[in-house]
Structure 1
């Protein structure tokens, strides 16, 4: 089939590489300009560079809604558009242009975690598995019929970086498997159960600010979800920002006020956590490694030279 590819960052790069390695003919690539957004500088393999190395025409757009782009797509005469990590709305006249429509590849197990940063949100929420879905595009974002879907388990210590590597390896088999079904003449696929649909926004600094009212298990997942190279989850100590690089749920149960720096346990320093911490039934969060405002990384047991005081969500006056 003649394929136009819409994509960006490493997800788009892996999709394009899979298409180039297949029997299908990539006739045009559309990608975004480089971005300075913190999350878009991560996993930033260039779709444009890969296409140009293979002699595929490249079109750079923030939004694919202008007449010139539409004319070039029409001239390309695609059988199918394949999209992965395209960051803006694709209008109906574009996604319905190819003979077989548009296939979107999304890194979640749709209908859950439509939208942005699905791996991070899924890890924060304690999901037992994540995956990749190829679905036909329609008028609602990430809502079309599912063509191929594959899942991988979330391990007890997995970080978002681990889950990225697990799921990015699914892109090629999911994409090419879906194209093979479409090329075989299949036109009926699995409708999504919209009663199970969830939609998430882009991550921002407010999403990585630690709230000590959260249970320790939830905070532990947040810290793993913000593993390097993502921006680290952070708190404040004595008015200064403190990045929390690693932490585990404490073995013991600790009562008191959320955010209290309480006790050395093993290789960590336990901070009281949970809105109902006063009950004494909660585990704490044992912080094991931190990074200070000046960029120093060190074990928590070296940073916290004495117990007492509080970690807070905002600088204290």
Structure 2
């Protein structure tokens, strides 16, 4: 099939690589410019480099709704637009330039977790599953009719990084399956139940800061959601910012003032809020401007409270 590809980062290279390896005709690749924001480079991989290696013309832009790009697309007469980690809204007028319109790959089980950082939000919210969805691109972000979905479990100790690695291969397999279904005329789209739709914003400092009045389960989920290479969930201890990289539920019940740090036979335990068990075993931390280290090493002989 003749496909114009829109994509960025590791998700984009995974999808574009699969399309090229399976013999699809890609006359143009559209990608975002390199970003100076560290958060945009967590899963750095260059769609531009992959296109160059394959000898494919490339357009770099933040938004792809310009008349000039539309004119270029119209001249190419694509059968399909495929989007993978394309981060801005694409106009229906642009999608209409391809015979089959556009399809997008999103790392969540739509209609839930539309928007940004869906894996991180799902782990932070204690979800037990996520997945990848292939849906039609229409005039509303992440709300187009669904073509394909595949579920990925989230296990109790999984980090966002674990889940990312588990979902990534689905971008290749589902993209190829979707293109094949469209080519054979067997594609069946299902409208999303918009009453179930949820949309999430980008995660920032506020979403990463630990509130020790929350239950231990919720704080553990937050630490899992902000696993390396993502910026870690953090708190302050004696005025120093500390990222908490690994933690686990305490093996016995501890009670007391949320934020209190205890040296126990089980290890370093931070007290959390009710309900339920209030102890969280802190395993690995990264003090400000320091390398990660065992919590028992950093907090040896210390007492006090997380701020």
> Would you identify which runs of 4 or more consecutive aligned residues in structure 1 move more than 6 Å?
none
Deviation at 1:283, TM superposition (A): 2.8
Residues 260-271 of structure 1 aligned to structure 2 (within 5 Å): 260-266=260-266, 268-271=267-270
Q: CA RMSD in A?
A: 1.4
- Measured at CA, do residues 297 and 23 of structure 1 come closer, stay the same or move farther in structure 2, by a change above 3 Å? closer
Q: Distance in 1 between matches of 2:166 and 2:94?
A: 31
Kept in 1: contact 2:92–2:137 (CA 8 A): no
In the alignment, which of 289, 292, 304 is matched to residue 294 of structure 1? 289
In the alignment, which of 299, 303, 306 is matched to residue 308 of structure 1? 303
Kept in 2: contact 1:12–1:85 (CA 8 A): yes
Match of residue 94 from structure 2 = 94
Q: Distance in 2 between matches of 1:91 and 1:213?
A: 44
Residues 114-129 of structure 1 aligned to structure 2 (within 5 Å): 114-129=114-129
Is 1:48 the counterpart of 2:43? The answer is no
Deviation at 1:188, TM superposition (A): 3.9
Kept in 2: contact 1:251–1:283 (CA 8 A): no
- State the TM-score, normalized to the length of structure 2: 0.96
Q: Distance in 1 between matches of 2:295 and 2:75?
A: 60
Q: Distance in 2 between matches of 1:7 and 1:294?
A: 34
Q: Deviations over 1:246-274 (max 9, x none)?
A: 111112222222101124242x3111102
Q: Distance in 2 between matches of 1:302 and 1:216?
A: 22
Deviation at 1:231, TM superposition (A): 0.8
Match of residue 171 from structure 1 = 171
Residues 120-159 of structure 1 aligned to structure 2 (within 5 Å): 120-159=120-159
- Equivalent residue of 1:148, what SS? strand
Q: Deviations over 1:50-79 (max 9, x none)?
A: 011111111000111212111111111111
* Unaligned 5+ runs, structure 2: none
- State the TM-score, normalized to the length of structure 1: 0.93
Q: Distance in 1 between matches of 2:245 and 2:110?
A: 30
- Measured at CA, do residues 42 and 219 of structure 1 come closer, stay the same or move farther in structure 2, by a change above 3 Å? same
> Higher mean Cα deviation, 257-266 or 95-104?
257-266
Kept in 1: contact 2:234–2:244 (CA 8 A): yes
Aligned residues: 307
Match of residue 254 from structure 1 = 254
Kept in 1: contact 2:147–2:187 (CA 8 A): no
Q: Distance in 1 between matches of 2:200 and 2:241?
A: 27
* Unaligned 5+ runs, structure 1: 313-317
Q: Deviations over 1:193-249 (max 9, x none)?
A: 112111111111221111111211111121111111111111000111011111111
Deviation at 1:158, TM superposition (A): 1.2
Q: Distance in 2 between matches of 1:16 and 1:66?
A: 23
